[in-house]
């Protein structure tokens, strides 16, 4: 048994025999030809055939993965008809007297290099498209076969897969795929996500795996080759659970999270890292209700720079598109300690120097994060959420700093979007004065874990108190009711991002109280959706 790590594209389990796919080496050799005119005719015929193939791929993709993802093949058709590309092929054939496949190979190389040298990630990635269309024409010229249909269900392992190859793969037989190259923004990756195919990229692959047993562990970004009995059993169990969940998803797919009385409840996901995004998308969340930004600080040896933060926030915003992404500013302190913050040891850290309290004292840390967040907001639908609020004064200070940040960005001519700013209600103080806080913010999100521990005066970490820790305590439910009421009176929405939000035994009561949003861990999305639809 051997384990390899990679980057998850779609985080689920796949178990099966490995099929090592190596592109038949397109043997392109330079030959002298006599009849340039005839060679050009040969090229034109091959090009027409390629355009025809792309047309049927477009139709296939349209049915299987939708218009947006099928467009790539239409684009490939357009690229093949590009004047400069064709001029280059024709010129090579006539002026140098070379064979058509060689002329296409050289042209393809030149054009893909041109794109590879561009700065922008999007345009850079187009070099793979140029390669793909050129290889298609060369294959036709050389009388090569289309990627053959698979005979049994397999995990495809390849150096790289072109989007056209991914779509051609027989979905019934494709358990998952593992590639060495490719990026998470490539069309192949996007297709894998859309088709719900477990996939890993960036895995150091080996041809020797062909025919061996393989396991894709998408959740952990791991590929296991030749697993032992115990491991295999473990993953078979996991797979069964996933299949059950998938069956449930099939039933609920496309259905709204709407109650029996017709009220739409926003169902969002809580995540703690960019790698969780796949599960958010596969779970059908309408947005991200809590993106914990701590990972940026916990993964780093020093304060993460604005650029580092910006890149991550942008990635999340872009991946989620128009869907809302609520990012919580840093919540370090208490049980999450980071060395370089140099926080002194406290007797009672849960009630100590943490979260927004650090941000309002060490404003440089706060401003760096806000700048990164506002900048990223130009690339999607970002909202910002502030934790551990106890007073109106804190909110006013935060907003003043946010305004300063916006002014600085304006002065530098940097774009940002229209950003909703809300607060977490996780202290009894904030719940009690939610009527005073509401006019200053765009939303409330109740953090029920801390709210419960503070209200009941029960330390969450103390196992001895587990039997009296009552998440359904009337005091908590009344506070939530109050928070919702005060939110609605002020025309803002209220949600829950704590564990209570995922507690399906209480969903009905929350719905009756008028909750607008529930944000839960991705694995709970479907169960909560079911509860909402029954409430």
Partner 1 sequence: MKEFKYVITDEVGIHARPAGNLSKLCKGFSSKVTISANGQSAEATKLMAVMNLGAKKETEITISVEGDDEEKAAAEVEAFLKENL
User: Which backbone phi and psi does 330 adopt, to 5 degrees?
Assistant: -55, 135
116 contacts partner 1 (rule: CB under 8 A): no
List strands edge to edge, sheet with 213-217.
Answer: 2-5, 222-225, 213-217, 13-21, 154-158, 174-179, 199-201, 7-10
User: Active-site residue 187, yes or no?
Assistant: yes
Task: Give least dist CB 67 to partner 1, A.
Answer: 11
Q: How far is the CB of 77 from partner 1 (least distance, A)?
A: 8
Shortest distance, CB of residue 102 to partner 1, whole angstroms? 20
Question: Is 243 among the residues that bind partner 1 (CB under 8 A)?
Answer: no
Q: Which is nearer to partner 1, 344 or 413 (CB)?
A: 413
Q: Which of 39, 53, 129, 394 binds partner 1 (CB under 8 A)?
A: 129
Looking at residues 377 to 406 of the shown chain, list those that interact with partner 1 (rule: CB under 8 A). 379
Burial of 8: CB neighbours in 10 Å, binned 0-12, 13-18, 19+: buried
Q: Nearest distance from residue 321's CB to partner 1, in Å?
A: 10
In sequence order, the 6+-apart residues with CB closer than 8 A to the CB of 456 are 468, 469, 470, 473, 475, 476
Does position 126 bind partner 1 by CB under 8 A?
A: yes
Give the residue with the Cβ less far from partner 1, 74 or 435: 74
x-or-dash pattern for partner 1, window 401-440, by CB under 8 A? Answer: --------------x-------------------------
Residues 357 and 332: their CA atoms lie apart, in Å, by 10
* Cα–Cα distance, 290 to 166 (Å, whole number): 33
Using the rule CB under 8 A, give the single segment among 70-78, 136-144, 354-362, 442-450 that binds partner 1. 70-78
φ/ψ of residue 186, rounded to 5? -70, 160
DSSP-derived letter for residue 382 is: E
Binding range to partner 1, per CB under 8 A, among 42-50, 81-89, 156-164, 449-457: 81-89
**Binding of partner 1 by 79 (CB under 8 A):** yes
Q: Using the rule CB under 8 A, is 58 a contact of partner 1?
A: no
Residues 6 or more apart whose Cβ sits within 8 Å of residue 497: 268, 270, 289, 290, 424, 445, 446, 447, 519
**Residues 435-494 within binding reach of partner 1 (CB under 8 A):** none
Using CA atoms, how far apart are residues 277 and 97, in angstroms rounded to an integer? 52
Element (H, E) at 119: none
Q: Which of 38, 118, 351, 396 binds partner 1 (CB under 8 A)?
A: 118
> By CB under 8 A, is residue 122 in contact with partner 1?
yes
User: And the tokens for 446?
Assistant: 């109740």
Min separation Cβ 78 and partner 1, Å: 3
User: Looking at beta carbons only, is 115 or 268 nearer to partner 1?
Assistant: 115
Of residues 322 through 381, those in contact with partner 1 by CB under 8 A are 379
Burial group, residue 360, by CB count within 10 angstroms (0-12, 13-18, 19+): middle
From the CB of 135, what's the least distance to partner 1, in Å? 17
Which residues, in sequence order, are CB contacts of 428 under 8 Å at separation 6+?
451, 454, 455, 479
Under the criterion CB under 8 A, does residue 82 sit at the interface with partner 1?
yes
Q: Binding residue for partner 1 (CB under 8 A) from 4, 115, 310, 416?
A: 115
Question: In which residue are the tokens 């793969």 written?
Answer: 169
Active site residue 359: no
Q: Among 14-22, 69-77, 189-197, 256-264, which window interacts with partner 1 (CB under 8 A)?
A: 69-77
- Distances in Å between the Cα of 30 and the Cα atoms of 41, 69, 189 are 18, 36, 34
Whichever of 187 and 292 has its CB closer to partner 1, that residue is 187
Choose the catalytic residue: 76, 90, 187, 359: 187
Q: Which residues 6+ apart lie within 8 Å of 149 measured at CB?
A: 170, 173
d(CA 212, CA 271): 35
Active-site position among 76, 90, 359, 497: 497
**Active-site amino acid positions:** 187, 497
Binding site for partner 1 (CB under 8 A): 71, 74-75, 78-79, 81-85, 111, 114-115, 118-120, 122-123, 126, 129-130, 379, 415
């Amino acid at each position: 048994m051997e384990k390899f790590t990679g980057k998850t594209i779609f985080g689920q389990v796949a178990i099966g025999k490995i099929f090592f796919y190596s592109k038949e080496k397109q043997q392109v050799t330079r030959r002298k030809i006599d009849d340039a005119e005839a060679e050009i005719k040969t090229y034109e015929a091959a090009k027409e055939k390629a355009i025809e193939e792309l047309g049927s791929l477009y139709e296939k993709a349209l049915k299987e993965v939708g218009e947006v993802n099928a467009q790539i093949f239409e684009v490939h058709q357009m690229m093949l008809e590009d004047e400069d590309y064709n001029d280059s092929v024709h010129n090579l054939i006539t002026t140098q007297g070379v064979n058509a496949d060689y002329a296409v190979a050289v042209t393809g190389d030149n054009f893909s290099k041109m794109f590879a040298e561009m700065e922008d990630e999007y345009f850079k990635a187009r070099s793979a498209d140029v390669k793909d269309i050129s290889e298609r024409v060369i294959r036709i010229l050389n009388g090569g076969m289309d990627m053959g249909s698979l005979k049994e269900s397999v995990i495809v392992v390849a150096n790289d897969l072109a989007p056209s190859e991914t779509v051609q793969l027989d979905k019934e037989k494709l358990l998952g795929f593992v590639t060495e190259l490719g990026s998470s923004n490539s069309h192949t990756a996007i297709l894998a996500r859309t088709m719900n195919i477990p996939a890993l990229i960036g895995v150091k692959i080996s041809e020797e795996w062909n025919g061996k047993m393989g396991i894709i562990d998408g959740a952990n970004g791991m590929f296991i080759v030749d697993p032992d009995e115990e491991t295999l059993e473990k993953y078979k169990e996991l797979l069964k659970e996933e299949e059950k969940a998938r069956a449930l998803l099939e039933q609920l797919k496309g259905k709204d999270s709407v109650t029996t009385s017709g009220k739409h409840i926003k169902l969002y996901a809580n995540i703690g890292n960019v790698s969780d995004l796949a599960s958010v998308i596969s779970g059908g969340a309408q947005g991200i209700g809590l993106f914990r930004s701590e990972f940026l600080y916990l993964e780093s040896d020093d304060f993460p720079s604005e650029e580092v933060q910006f890149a991550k926030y942008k990635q999340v915003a872009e991946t989620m598109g128009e869907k809302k992404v609520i990012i919580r500013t840093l919540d370090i302190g208490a049980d999450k300690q980071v060395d370089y913050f140099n926080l002194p040891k406290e007797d009672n850290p849960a009630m100590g120097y943490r979260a927004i309290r650090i941000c309002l004292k060490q404003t440089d840390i706060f401003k760096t994060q806000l700048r990164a967040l506002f900048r990223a907001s130009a690339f999607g639908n970002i909202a910002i959420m502030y934790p551990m609020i106890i007073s109106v004064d804190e909110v006013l200070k935060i907003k003043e700093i946010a305004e300063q940040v916006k002014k600085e960005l304006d002065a530098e001519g940097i774009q940002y979007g229209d950003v909703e700013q809300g607060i977490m209600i996780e202290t009894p103080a904030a719940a009690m004065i939610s009527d005073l806080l509401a006019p200053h913010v765009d939303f409330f999100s109740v953090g029920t874990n801390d709210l419960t521990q503070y209200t009941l005066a029960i330390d969450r970490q103390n196992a001895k108190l587990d039997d009296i820790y009552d998440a359904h305590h009337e005091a908590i439910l009344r506070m939530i009711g109050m928070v919702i009421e005060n939110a609605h009176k002020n025309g803002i929405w209220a949600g829950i991002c704590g564990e209570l939000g995922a507690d399906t035994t209480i969903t009905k009561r929350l719905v009756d109280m008028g909750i607008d949003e529930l944000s839960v861990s991705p694995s709970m999305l479907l169960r909560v959706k079911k509860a909402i639809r029954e409430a």
